[in-house]
Amino acid sequence: MDALNRLVEADAIRRLADRDASLYTENIDARIPIMQRLGWNDLAQKAPGRFVLLENLTKAIIEEGATDLVLLGMGGSSLAPLVLSRVIGGSPGKPRLHVLDTTSPVAVTRLLATLDPAGTFVLVSSKSGTTVEPLSLYAILRAWLEETLPRPVAGRHCFVITDPGTPLEKLRQRDLMRVTLNAPPTVGGRFSALTMFGLAPAALTGIDLELLVARAAAMEEACRLPAAENPGALLAAWMTDAYDGGHDKLTIVTSPALAPFGLWVEQLVAESLGKDGRGIVPVIEHDPTLPSGYGDDRAVAVLRLENDELLTSWSRDVAPTHPVFEMTVRDTYDLGAEFVRWEHAVALVGFLQGVNPFNEPNVAEAKSATSAILSGSTTVPPATADFDGSWVTFAGGLEAPASPPVSRVNALRALLGTATEGDYIAILAYLPDDESVLGPLNRCAKTVSDATGRAVCVELGPRYLHSTGQLHKGGPNSGVFLLVTARDRADIEIPGEKFRLAALHRAQAEGDLVTLAAHGRRILRIDLPSSNHGAVAALAEDIASAVR
């Protein structure tokens, strides 16, 4: 029976709308945590009730001279605002949004150098209120604000978005921060785009919330229709049928103006479905010219603007050889609808595949390993070779060659040569989120994909730990991982902590190295002397050379 008929037979659409946890498990005790994560399917209907609060807050900070808004968050707390700001953008006269979802001292230092404390306001976003990255960054930015502003004024420049009663909400009270914007506790982070986590940054920077939410509300209604007319159910059935047919590399291809949306889809799919040794692997297509061929394991989801004739033609050319699901949007505000479509689809795929899409059982492993490295209770596999300051480590399921590699290309060849049919390659880059740095890696990913026939993903650390990191460890052992770190000299003190920001950034990379190795994943670490363009571009060239 195909997936769409299975949804009809199980009455899955109605049961999801009714928040029926038995859709996912027969175990009564196991239903409780699922029930606590089903509050997302009518968020657009409820969102207008928050508009007045957000309008008043926006007016107040503009009157106080706000020019820049810095969002501190990770994963579900930051990706929706990041995508909205990059796709829709803000409005003239409203603060510019800067999403800081990294612990890279280079990135933080560069951002602070461009900001004026008098006009900078800070949003600290964390569902649990305990996430180490935003809390560490808050400590840094609060100290930076107080270098110029009196403590009470600095406090009024800071807001919190979190669940009710979290440690972050209590910190807000102790530190005299301005206000807490609570999100529903029944909505998990990656399903929270239409809660305060997504709505507040959008409103404060001048995105038209009424239009965005109206598009989302229309899609909510459509996702309650019978399966054959239901946009979420149709996408879910296509994803499941493609996966069952061996097409488990979900390749996300968009019109250029919509390209950042792939980051949000990637997290939703990977973290929701990559567990229990299974998983759909999301692959963001970075090639602006569009590729001429894919391996047999690809399924292609196309999101295009109505007037994108190039992508229309390309989709038509790909369809005879690969499963293609095409979605058309009128303009960038249809992202509100796409958030809803994909959330419903992924929730239904969870039912069809027999996994709980609302937990992330392996994410905590890397967090624990990071803490253990910072405390000195866990050791990191040592480097096995040094090539002009690039330290190379073979770890996990990747055995070091009997003869030491004679070059960095040789070491890369040993890793990439293990990628066989059905595998994917992931470049895990603990580098600044800067196109001049990441661009060479994205371009060499196409070279590797063309040469090997494998899907290649470029993931930014530590962002991916809250996204595809779940799939890497909990999904199938089909990933081949290149971990890229750098020994930059930049560093920043974290007030109240025994460790500094550079140590945290490095420990997050090494914690994931240890965790991936414990799962037997094939992993090669290359530790560069710095993250400057030249060092990363040279590495990208070596990666490309390794598959030529």
Answer yes or no: are the C-beta atoms of 516 and 475 closer than 8 Å.
no
DSSP H or E run through 525:
strand 522-528
Closest CA to 139 of 164, 115, 175, 111: 175
Burial class (CB in 10 A: 0-12, 13-18, 19+), 173: exposed
DSSP H or E run through 301:
strand 298-305
For residue 320, the tally of other CB atoms under 10 A from its CB is 7
For residue 130, the tally of other CB atoms under 10 A from its CB is 13
Rg of the Cα atoms in the chain: 23
CA 231 to chain centre: 23
Beta bridge partners of 282: 250
Answer yes or no: are the C-beta atoms of 162 and 183 closer than 8 Å.
yes
Write the secondary structure of 97-151 as one string of H (helix), E (strand) and C (coil): EEEECCCCHHHHHHHHCCCCHHHEEEEEECCCCCCHHHHHHHHHHHHHHHCCCCH
Positions of the chain with pLDDT under 50: none
pLDDT at position 246 is 97
Structure tokens at 300: 């292609």
Are β-strands 158-162 and 120-125 bridged in parallel, bridged antiparallel, or unpaired?
parallel
Burial class (CB in 10 A: 0-12, 13-18, 19+), 335: buried
Are β-strands 390-396 and 522-528 bridged in parallel, bridged antiparallel, or unpaired?
antiparallel
Residue type, 162: T
pLDDT at position 198 is 98
For residue 246, the tally of other CB atoms under 10 A from its CB is 11
Beta bridge partners of 298: 249
Q: Please count the residues of the chain.
A: 548
What domains are defined for the chain? Answer: 3-29+225-353 (3.40.50.10490), 43-207 (3.40.50.10490), 363-546 (3.40.50.10490)
